[in-house]
Amino acid sequence: MMKNTCFIAVGSWRMAVFLTLSGVLLLSSNASADGWDPGSGTTASGSIVNTRHNLTTSWNAYDYMSSARNQYNDVCVYCHTPHGANSQIDAPLWNRTINSDSNYTIYDKPTTLMRPISVPGPSSLTCLSCHDGTISIDSVLNMPGSGRDPMNSGLTNTEVGTSNASFLGQWRAAGNSGPMSVHMTLGGPGLTCAAYCHNPANEELTGWTDFTAFVIGEDLRDDHPIGVQYPDTFGPSVDFNPPDTTIPGKWAFFDTNGNNFADTNEIRLYDSGDGYEVECASCHDPHGVASGGAGSRFSPSFLRVNNGVVGSHAGVTGIVSHGPSALCLTCHTK
């Protein structure tokens, strides 16, 4: 039984810190260096509704997310809109504001790959619009209701880039007495998800999932290269496998089942004008990918292929392993 519960107020939201008479209550800690952290209450199966990318749900017993972002009560609207999509990025009906690609410091070791590296493409900028930690997780162009808020102000967000908090602050969800004043980013300075709740200290204290591994930032030099061109010739001296299918101006992919279609569990390369390049979405699907077919749990960390998270890792029950480094070895011949 927990005793002497203490709530620390920060602005209009609260962070719970649990103490017991005998000391700190340690619940669970499952984080690992590869970023796989099953501490979330999601089932990671079925659909995006059951994943951490469902921003309408707080996946623990305390709904503090409602004090960190606008509750749109719509899973898809945090990223997509049927009308009035972001025209600044070539992404499917994109509803989020984005960061300029010129703000990123790209991978600076081209001799490692002997391939040109350009700025992040659309299939990376979409992911970075949350994961670089500069844009609020609820920063959209069109709110639910034909681009209007429930007060019928008719407001739409025309700003592209960092979050327009003034616009976001005018959203009034049903049952709320007024607009939210806090619009947190995933990480970075100030009021952020990682700084105030989802960090190593709170994971030890409360069991809340540590998000710090998922805050990529704007300096991409310590991450897998994105915007890097994939080889276009192959042979004994080239340490890369050729993709099975190439569609110029669109993408290339490793067609593991031979159906001539880029399935969600198949690695792909994106051609946004400079040839086939590796982007965030080459390896990750934000909606989740079933590891062993329909009904199975998704591959960890939204990977298209389970890269070997098995065995002694916590929370892998129901996940089908594709073998050690299976994702890496799809492209690399080592």
| 117-165 pLDDT, tens digit each | 889 999 999 999 999 999 999 999 888 865 555 555 566 777 777 788 8
Residue 177 has pLDDT above 80, yes or no: no
How do 245-247 and 251-253 pair as beta strands? Answer: antiparallel
Whether 319 is in a domain gets the answer no
Whether 202 is in a domain gets the answer yes
pLDDT of residue 29: 38
Residue 276 has pLDDT above 70, yes or no: yes
Burial class of 174 by CB neighbour count within 10 A (0 to 12, 13 to 18, 19+): exposed
Whether 108 is in a domain gets the answer yes
Whether 142 is in a domain gets the answer yes
pLDDT of residue 113: 67
pLDDT of residue 129: 96
The Cα-based distances of 113 to 66, 332, 333 in angstroms read 44, 11, 13
The span from the CA of 165 to the CA of 181, in Å, is: 8
Mean per-residue pLDDT over the chain, rounded: 82
Whether 229 is in a domain gets the answer no
The span from the CA of 99 to the CA of 126, in Å, is: 9
Structure tokens at 295: 């009904």
Query: Per the structure, how many domains does the chain have?
Result: 1
Reference 121, options 139, 141, 137, 106; nearest CA is 106
pLDDT of residue 36: 62
- Percent of the chain at pLDDT above 90? 48
- CB of 95 closer than 8 Å to CB of 157: no
The span from the CA of 116 to the CA of 106, in Å, is: 11
Whether 41 is in a domain gets the answer no
Reference 330, options 267, 263, 282, 249; nearest CA is 267
pLDDT of residue 32: 46
- CB of 316 closer than 8 Å to CB of 307: no
Whether 302 is in a domain gets the answer no
> Would you give the distance in Å from CA 222 to the centre of its chain?
17
Q: Coil, strand or helix: which one is 215? A: coil
Q: Coil, strand or helix: which one is 206? A: helix
333 or 180: whose pLDDT is higher? Answer: 333
The 10 Å Cβ neighbour count of residue 224 is 12
Whether 270 is in a domain gets the answer no
- Long-range contacts from 101-107, C-beta under 8 angstroms, 24+ separation: 101/125, 103/134, 103/218, 104/128, 104/132, 104/218, 104/219, 104/220, 105/218, 105/219, 105/220, 105/221, 106/220, 106/221, 106/225, 106/226, 106/227, 107/220, 107/221, 107/223, 107/225, 107/226, 107/227, 107/228
Most confident of 66-75, 107-116, 242-251: 242-251
List the single range of 73-82, 130-139, 189-198 with lowest mean pLDDT: 189-198
What range defines the domain where residue 112 resides? 1-30+52-219
